[in-house]
Amino acid sequence: MKAMDISIVGSLHDTPPIDQMDVLQLWNSERVSLSHNGKFSGKPTTRIYVNDNWVLKIHRERGFRSQAVAEKWCHLQIKKEQNYNIYHPQRTWIACGIDNQWIVANITPRMQALHTIDFLAIDSHERVRLLAEALQIYMTFTTKFALRLDEGLSNFSLYHGKVYYLDDDIYPWDNFYSFSAMLGNCIRKTPALAMNEDSWAQLGEILQPILRDHSSEAEDIVHEGLIDQLVGQQEIFKQAFLTALRPTYKVTMTQRASGQFHASDAIAILADVHGNLPAFQAILHELDKYGIQQYFILGDLVGYGPHPKACIELIQERDMFCIRGNHDHYVAYNGDVRVAMGKMAKWTADWTLDQLDDDDKMWLGALPVRHQMDGWMAVHGSPVDKSFFNGYVYNMTSDRNLDHLISMNMPICLHGHSHIQGVYARRKGQYLPFDTRKGDINLQKNEASLVCPGSVGQPRGGVKTIIAEAAIFYPDQSSVKMLAIPYDISPVIADMEKHHFPQQLIQRLYEGK
């Protein structure tokens, strides 16, 4: 019999269900081989021993200089895991003296990992329940702790009808990147999970409010992340899940403009209207001279300016296609605190809340956060940001965003948010200086281009001349024409003063920064 000193430190919620003899018997049994997608998996340094009732997991990589230090680590781990509330309550931590050192181990009741369940042998309700419970555990944990669990089904287990987390490790939060990948992997395994379209739709409906409890943007991030997941022949199931993930109002409040732009026709590109109706009307009058029939607004229809409702009505009247900006999102969700926003921006966003009715807010909330076409895409903020409306494209972030476009094989991204008109580009592996020229800019020779049309309602290029900015995009020619036209600012100022806007916001319009 192999020798080992054993100190049973404690279990999560009950008196330790095992004694030293139980541990020794497990320790002296045959070690289980670990394999990916096998019954048991783990790190190369992990040792697992099992019997019919228990699983002993020894962490040889965690060595301590004394029994006291090992026991202290176990006590801290027990306290942490009690707070997590994701493990089986009989999970027990142990300090072990082996080969002149102290290491730690845990014992858990033997449970069935979800990836080993024969989903074909259970009914459809139970299949959805098991997956939903795993997703609920994951989301409840990450909402509370801003950390993530290991997403594989092998890390979740079933015991007496209840699902628990199995893995010992907790990971840094990655803003749903791994979570979306896990959903894509599950959809790829649809035949093995015996799920059909109705089952995936049910799971999407269950997940939506869980995501909303995390944050207002979580649903959009997961939706867009899953769109990027390739699922092969299981695409129909992915679409069933995605459709159900959207709340009903996001389906019923769709824009009349389809967003299916014709590459052979010019597209008017506008951004950051920000409730400035005179600027909006002026730039539209200028664009009408070009006979343009396609309009795309890159978000932030509201905020900063005194005419949010009038701007929304004009957009709807002219069937312009829009995506959602951070100000739009804040207003749509009645002041969501996770949206990146400064003091003055928050003041006007809160003021805007009282100017719009529920239909206006629902319409803003129904706007997509990203739009993709053949050869180009559009976001409000930056393509590398998972929310697509909080991140900025500027000197310190442009290189990373350009590299991201190249990794996506996406040559052009239209964006707003910065309020600074111009183009960042990479050509032949070199990052080009920010191009702020007015007029025509050819993008054909660029490997990747980040194009900002400037701001309609609040340009920040530092030009003190009062202007409204926009661009005309020619998809089939990979070129843009940058526009800037003067307008009469006095009606905007008058309305801002009428509604007691902070003087700092009024001055900012004058200064163009």
The 3-class secondary structure across 313-362, one letter per residue, is: HHHHHCCCEECCCHHHHHHHCCCCCCCCCCHHHHHHHHHHHCCCCHHHHH
Q: Pick from 470, 426, 424, 429: which is nearest to 450 by CA? A: 424
Confidence of residue 503 (pLDDT cuts 50, 70, 90): very high
* Average pLDDT score over residue span 480-503: 95
Token pair of 226, please? Answer: 């899953």
Determine the 3-state secondary structure of 488 from DSSP: coil
Confidence of residue 1 (pLDDT cuts 50, 70, 90): very low
pLDDT in tens, 9-26: 999 987 888 899 988 888
**Helices 124-145 and 177-188: angle between axes, nearest 10 degrees:** 170
pLDDT in tens, 314-325: 999 999 999 999
* Average pLDDT score over residue span 484-489: 94
| Rounded CA separation 127/121 (Å) | 10
Average pLDDT, the chain: 92
Contacts of 217 (CB under 8 A, 6+ apart): 329, 336, 338, 339, 369, 387, 389
Annotate 22-61 with b (16+ C-beta within 10 A) or e (fewer). bbeebbeeeebeeeeeeebbbeeebbbbbeeebbbbbbbe
**Residue 497 confidence (pLDDT):** 95
Taking 80 as the threshold, does the pLDDT of residue 247 lie above it?
no
Span between the terminal Cα atoms of the chain, in Å? 77
Do 323 and 416 touch, CB atoms closer than 8 A?
no
| Rounded CA separation 110/157 (Å) | 9
pLDDT in tens, 121-148: 999 999 999 999 999 999 999 999 999 9
**Residue 400 confidence (pLDDT):** 97
User: What is the total residue count of the chain?
Assistant: 513
Determine the 3-state secondary structure of 107 from DSSP: strand
DSSP structural state of residue 30: P
- Lowest-confidence segment of 244-253, 284-293, 365-374, 488-497 by average pLDDT: 244-253
Three-state secondary structure of 174-185: CCCHHHHHHHHH
| Rounded CA separation 473/13 (Å) | 62
Question: Could you tell me the residue ranges of all domains in the chain?
Answer: 5-110, 113-246, 267-511
> Which class would CATH give 267-511?
alpha beta
- Lowest-confidence segment of 14-28, 62-76, 101-115 by average pLDDT: 14-28
Portion of the chain with pLDDT greater than 90, in percent: 80
Confidence of residue 257 (pLDDT cuts 50, 70, 90): low
Top-confidence residue, 341 or 205:
205
CA atoms within 13 Å, Cβ hemisphere of 169? 13
Q: Pick from 196, 355, 328: which is nearest to 255 by CA? A: 328
Top-confidence residue, 463 or 235:
235
Confidence of residue 32 (pLDDT cuts 50, 70, 90): confident
